[in-house]
């Protein structure tokens, strides 16, 4: 740090100089302090003698432009707001590099670090904010920097000159800009962000996902959900950053950009009212009428701002008050733009949705576009734009003015040019107004003329158009346009296509499954983006379905999304009407032994389970277990060799058996033995819906195999295989599939049939309605048309099973997802606790 310097100082001693004008002392030579002075001068240049104290040894510059300085897109000179001449012209005393260390409100003076005492009539605190340093080991090592001022930028630049690696902790606006700058300067950059989504305060999950993908494409390593454990040093200098999960990233420099805190130290010490920030009223006056405050250090109506835009309004209100024309500041709606070249990103207002809030989402996968506006009470309340931010300012304007947008509601998402187009307000009319050679479907190069001709040629539904001329059959982004053309061409004669998956999408289950494979989609946010979901994070209907489809499509690679699973599959137990759970350990083929029965009996007593019941699937169900006790219950059952029975899952439930040839005088084959083998092969697999198997040892069918999803009926000459039975709401007897000679063939066909069901059925569709929908011939064709399909399907099933046969209970017992079972805290009011 340079020695304190006074750039411009008149020779005036406060004690002797009679002051005609009020003395205004400003603490802080940043954007807020200087802007406030500018506003005051503009109103009344003769009212105050102004002295500005700055901690940095330089003139006032535009702090938000430090990012382009770091990346080399701008030089420091380019970002100076007020040079030496401004201070001189306005007779402002600038005390730079000599920070104020205390305020004495009784004597109305401030004391600087050098010992200089400055009296004031009015004091303006504009101390801005301080970077927040996370308290991890190694935070004080050399090479750990923040990103707040030009000195920080200089440190980063000198590190970048040497090359090597940088780790940025914090994936917010500032962190990403720092990462971008360092990356452009040639460093290998990793960003470690605690939250699952980048810039989660400004972006929703979808936009955060796009941003992450783009930054990764540019060569940055982006770690979301990364919790820093330690900054590792070598010889007093940083060498790496280690995360709590054990991952380590080499670092020659660490940029700490996790957030900022209002700079309130001085104000607090001076006894001013301070909460998170310095508390000010609508005129930016603190609890002391002679002291005003402005900028990131203040708290106004409960809000602290970390962005530049609110400054302008605050400074206006402050200057009005100081010049005795009080107007008042009413808080700001803020917007954000990321200053990373080539990435267009804008967010403003409230995009959390909620009651009465309506989301309008537009996605264009081929252009990497995501737009979302949130409307409440016919007013725009929030907007997130990624890929095309041209309309950001227009949306922001609508938002701030709170204008009624009901007239342009339909066209709002298409932007200003479209919404302001008068006659084009109706999307159908807008599409109808397009010329015949206008391209509708970019993926398949289909013009409007061709789509209309296709419709006139008899294609009366979206699906028919898709299959005839291929418009909207690929990425689907033009689905809305094609629907508009159907409406305008046919009037009321549009036929609706197959049922869509849910209200979040116009695609059917089959479309989604096909596109996941065709477009190589591997995560839920990616599906939502690429397939143009109309909601930001799906709903309770599509999320579990997508989770299953991805799990089925990418065995071993897809990471299961717990929060997209229904409670029972998340808790690995069955929720009951009172919120407790029931626990069903697996009993292979319905067989058990004294050890297992003792363990179950012990669990029932130990946890006071109010009921134990023999289930229809030949096992025991323990009722009334609290979620907190589940891991302990499972540990006891595991100890006796039992694993999860998946009685809660869209998965293989039980394999019911009769005793078969081993004991039964009618038995033709070893039905229990085959049942156990089938269960060992199929347990743990996730399915579109629950799946039950049974093996009966003779045609008397004691195991009721003909109302199961897959049933085996043993006969003297082999095994009859049946599929698609159901004993539920609508009883359906199985269809006979085929007869095989050996156990191995029965096992192979079971695996193949399950895989066909897993790959083709809709989520939450049991085998019975699936077969009713597609027909038994379709199933048979799927299995037998090619000589090796059974073998290939079975191989795919067995491969996927290699990732599924870990007991989920044992994983929880080992501590996985402990949060799901523990309360976050307990509230024990004192008077009640004393009474107990």
Residue numbering of the annotated binding site for siroheme: 702
Query: Checking DSSP bridges between strand 691-696 and strand 652-657, what pairing results, if any?
Result: parallel
- Residue 680 touching another protein (CB under 8 A): no
Half-sphere exposure of residue 201, counting CA atoms within 13 Å on the CB side? Answer: 17
CB of 544 to another protein, least distance (A): 7
Of 110 and 504, nearer to another protein (C-beta) is: 504
| One character per residue 58-97, x = contact with another protein (rule: CB under 8 A) | ----------------------------------------
SS3 422: helix
Largest Cα span, the chain: 121
- Residues 139, 145, 147, 149: is their CA dihedral positive or negative? positive
Which of these segments, 31-39, 197-205, 409-417, 773-781, binds another protein (CB under 8 A)? 197-205
Of 789 and 811, nearer to another protein (C-beta) is: 811
- Residue 736 touching another protein (CB under 8 A): no
Q: Which of residues 628-657 bind another protein (CB under 8 A)?
A: none
| Burial of residue 730 (number of CB atoms within 10 Å: 0-12, 13-18, 19+) | exposed
- Residue 423 touching another protein (CB under 8 A): no
Of 12 and 563, nearer to another protein (C-beta) is: 563
Q: How far apart are CA 76 and CA 35, in angstroms?
A: 19
Contact (CB, 8 A) for 727 and 771: no
Angle at which helices 743-760 and 671-682 cross, to 10°: 40
| The two three-digit tokens of residue 344, written as one number | 């267009």
- Residue 826 touching another protein (CB under 8 A): yes
Tell me how far apart the terminal alpha carbons of the chain are, to the nearest angstrom: 61
Count of residues engaged in binding another protein, rule: CB under 8 A = 52
CB of 261 to another protein, least distance (A): 8
**Closest-CA residue to 333 (of 303, 358, 355):** 303
- Residue 349 touching another protein (CB under 8 A): no
- Residue 665 touching another protein (CB under 8 A): no
- Residue 434 touching another protein (CB under 8 A): no
CB of 173 to another protein, least distance (A): 15
Q: How far apart are CA 185 and CA 769, in angstroms?
A: 60
- Residue 606 touching another protein (CB under 8 A): no
Out of 238, 241, 322, 571, the residue judged to bind another protein by CB under 8 A: 571
CB of 764 to another protein, least distance (A): 12
CB of 827 to another protein, least distance (A): 4
Distances (CA, A) of 136 to 141, 142, 167: 11, 14, 15
Q: Which of residues 202-231 bind another protein (CB under 8 A)?
A: 204-205, 227
Which CB contacts under 8 angstroms, 24+ apart, belong to 449-455?
A: 451/482, 451/485, 452/485, 452/489, 455/485, 455/486, 455/489, 455/490
Contact (CB, 8 A) for 400 and 357: no
Out of 71, 183, 197, 264, the residue judged to bind another protein by CB under 8 A: 197
Q: How far apart are CA 114 and CA 186, in angstroms?
A: 40
Which residues are part of a known binding site for [4Fe-4S] cluster?
658, 664, 698, 702
| One character per residue 353-392, x = contact with another protein (rule: CB under 8 A) | xxx---x---------------------------------
Q: Which of residues 510-569 bind another protein (CB under 8 A)?
A: 535-540, 543-544, 562-568
Contacts of 764 (CB under 8 A, 6+ apart): 545, 650, 688, 689
Out of 80, 195, 309, 740, the residue judged to bind another protein by CB under 8 A: 195
Out of 352, 378, 742, 786, the residue judged to bind another protein by CB under 8 A: 352
Residue with tokens 């996730």: 686
Contact (CB, 8 A) for 80 and 61: yes
CB of 388 to another protein, least distance (A): 21
Out of 194, 308, 425, 659, the residue judged to bind another protein by CB under 8 A: 194
Q: How many CB atoms lie within 10 A of CB 64?
A: 16
**Closest-CA residue to 526 (of 550, 544, 502):** 550
Of 224 and 393, nearer to another protein (C-beta) is: 224
Q: How far apart are CA 325 and CA 328, in angstroms?
A: 10
Out of 149, 151, 200, 636, the residue judged to bind another protein by CB under 8 A: 200
Which residues are part of a known binding site?
658, 664, 698, 702
Which of these segments, 144-152, 640-648, 696-704, 821-829, binds another protein (CB under 8 A)? 821-829
Contact (CB, 8 A) for 70 and 182: yes
- Residue 136 touching another protein (CB under 8 A): no
**Closest-CA residue to 622 (of 608, 611, 607):** 611
**Closest-CA residue to 84 (of 65, 61, 63, 116):** 61
- Residue 351 touching another protein (CB under 8 A): yes
| The two three-digit tokens of residue 376, written as one number | 């409440």
Of 538 and 684, nearer to another protein (C-beta) is: 538
Q: How far apart are CA 713 and CA 671, in angstroms?
A: 9
Which of these segments, 52-60, 119-127, 236-244, 815-823, binds another protein (CB under 8 A)? 815-823
**Closest-CA residue to 190 (of 238, 234, 149, 130):** 238
CB of 624 to another protein, least distance (A): 14
| The two three-digit tokens of residue 58, written as one number | 């330089």
- Residue 823 touching another protein (CB under 8 A): yes
Of 359 and 704, nearer to another protein (C-beta) is: 359
Q: Which of residues 263-282 bind another protein (CB under 8 A)?
A: 275-276
- Residue 815 touching another protein (CB under 8 A): no
Out of 437, 716, 788, 833, the residue judged to bind another protein by CB under 8 A: 833
Q: Which residues bind another protein (CB under 8 A)?
A: 194-197, 200-201, 204-205, 227, 261, 275-276, 351-355, 359, 535-540, 543-544, 562-568, 570-571, 575, 577-579, 627, 819, 822-829, 832-833, 836
């Amino acid at each position: 740090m340079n020695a304190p310097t006074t750039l411009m100082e008149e020779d005036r001693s406060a004690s002797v100089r009679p002051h005609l004008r009020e003395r205004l002392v400003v603490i802080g030579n940043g954007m807020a302090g200087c802007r406030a002075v500018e506003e005051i001068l503009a109103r009344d240049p003769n009212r105050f003698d102004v002295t500005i104290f700055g901690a940095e040894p330089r003139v006032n510059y535009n702090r938000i432009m430090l990012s382009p300085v770091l990346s080399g897109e701008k030089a420091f000179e380019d970002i100076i707001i007020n040079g030496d001449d401004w201070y001189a012209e306005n007779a402002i005393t600038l005390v730079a590099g000599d920070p104020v260390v205390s305020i004495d409100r009784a004597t109305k003076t401030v004391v600087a670090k050098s010992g200089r005492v400055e009296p004031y009539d009015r004091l303006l605190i504009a101390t801005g904010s301080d970077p927040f340093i996370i308290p991890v080991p190694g935070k004080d090592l050399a090479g750990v920097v923040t990103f707040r001022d030009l000195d920080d930028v200089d440190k980063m630049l000198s590190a970048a000159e040497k090359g090597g690696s940088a780790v940025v902790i914090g994936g917010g606006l500032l962190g990403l800009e720092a990462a971008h700058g360092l990356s452009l300067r040639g460093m290998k950059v990793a960003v470690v962000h605690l939250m699952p989504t980048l810039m989660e305060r400004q972006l929703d999950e979808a936009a955060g996902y796009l941003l992450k993908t783009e930054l990764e494409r540019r060569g940055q390593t982006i770690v979301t959900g990364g919790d820093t454990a330690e900054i590792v040093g070598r010889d007093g200098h940083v060498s790496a950053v280690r995360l709590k999960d054990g991952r380590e990233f080499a670092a020659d420099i660490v940029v700490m950009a996790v957030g900022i805190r209002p700079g309130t130290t001085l104000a607090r010490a001076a006894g001013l009212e301070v909460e998170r920030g310095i508390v000010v009223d609508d005129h930016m006056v603190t609890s002391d009428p002679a002291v005003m405050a402005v900028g990131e250090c203040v708290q106004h109506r409960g809000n602290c701002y970390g962005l530049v835009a609110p400054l302008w309004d605050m400074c206006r209100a402050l200057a009005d008050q100081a010049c005795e024309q009080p107007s008042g500041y009413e808080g700001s709606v803020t917007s954000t733009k990321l200053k990373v070249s080539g990435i267009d990103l804008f967010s403003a207002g409230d995009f959390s949705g909620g009651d009465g809030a309506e989301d309008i989402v537009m996605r264009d996968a081929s252009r990497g576009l995501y737009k979302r506006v949130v409307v409440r009470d016919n007013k725009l309340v929030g907007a997130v734009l990624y890929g095309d931010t041209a309309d950001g300012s227009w949306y922001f304007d609508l938002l701030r003015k709170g204008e009624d947008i009901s007239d342009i509601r339909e066209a709002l998402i298409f932007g200003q040019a479209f919404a302001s187009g008068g006659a084009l307000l109706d999307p159908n009319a807008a599409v109808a107004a397009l010329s015949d050679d206008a391209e509708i479907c970019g993926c398949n190069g289909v013009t409007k003329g061709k789509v209309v001709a296709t419709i006139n040629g008899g294609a009366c539904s979206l699906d028919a158009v898709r299959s005839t001329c291929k418009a909207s059959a690929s990425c689907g982004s033009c689905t809305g346009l094609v629907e508009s053309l159907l409406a305008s061409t046919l009037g009321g004669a549009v036929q609706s296509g197959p049922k869509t998956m849910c209200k979040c999408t116009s695609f059917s289950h089959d479309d989604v499954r096909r596109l996941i494979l065709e477009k190589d989609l591997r995560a839920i946010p990616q599906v939502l983006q690429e397939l143009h979901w109309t909601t930001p994070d799906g709903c309770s209907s599509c999320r579990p379905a997508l989770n299953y489809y991805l799990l089925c499509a990418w065995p071993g690679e897809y990471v299961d999304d717990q929060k997209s699973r229904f409670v029972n599959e998340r808790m690995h137990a069955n929720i009951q009407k009172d919120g407790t759970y029931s626990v069903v350990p697996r009993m292979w083929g319905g067989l058990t032994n004294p050890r297992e029965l003792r363990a179950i009996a012990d669990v029932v007593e130990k946890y006071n389970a109010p009921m134990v019941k023999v289930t229809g699937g030949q096992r025991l169900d323990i009722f009334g277990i609290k979620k907190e006790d589940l891991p302990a219950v499972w540990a006891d059952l595991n100890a006796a060799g039992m694993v999860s029975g998946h009685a809660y899952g869209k998965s293989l439930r039980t394999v019911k058996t009769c005793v078969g040839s081993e004991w039964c005088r009618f038995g033709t084959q070893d039905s229990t033995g085959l049942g156990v083998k089938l269960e060992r092969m199929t347990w743990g697999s996730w399915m579109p819906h629950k799946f039950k198997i049974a093996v009966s040892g003779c045609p008397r069918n004691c195991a009721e195999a003909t109302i199961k999803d897959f049933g085996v009926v043993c006969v003297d000459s082999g095994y009859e295989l049946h599929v698609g039975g159901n004993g539920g709401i609508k009883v359906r007897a199985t269809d006979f599939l085929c007869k095989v000679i050996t156990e191995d063939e029965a096992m192979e066909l079971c695996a193949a049939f399950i895989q066909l069901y897993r790959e083709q059925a809709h989520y939450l569709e049991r085998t019975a309605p699936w077969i009713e929908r597609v027909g038994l011939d379709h199933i048979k064709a799927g299995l037998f048309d090619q000589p090796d399909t059974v073998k290939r399907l079975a191989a795919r099933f067995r491969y996927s099973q290699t990732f599924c046969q870990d007991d989920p209970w044992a994983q929880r017992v080992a501590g996985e997802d402990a949060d799901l079972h523990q309360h976050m805290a307990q509230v024990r009011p004192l008077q009640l606790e004393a009474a107990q």
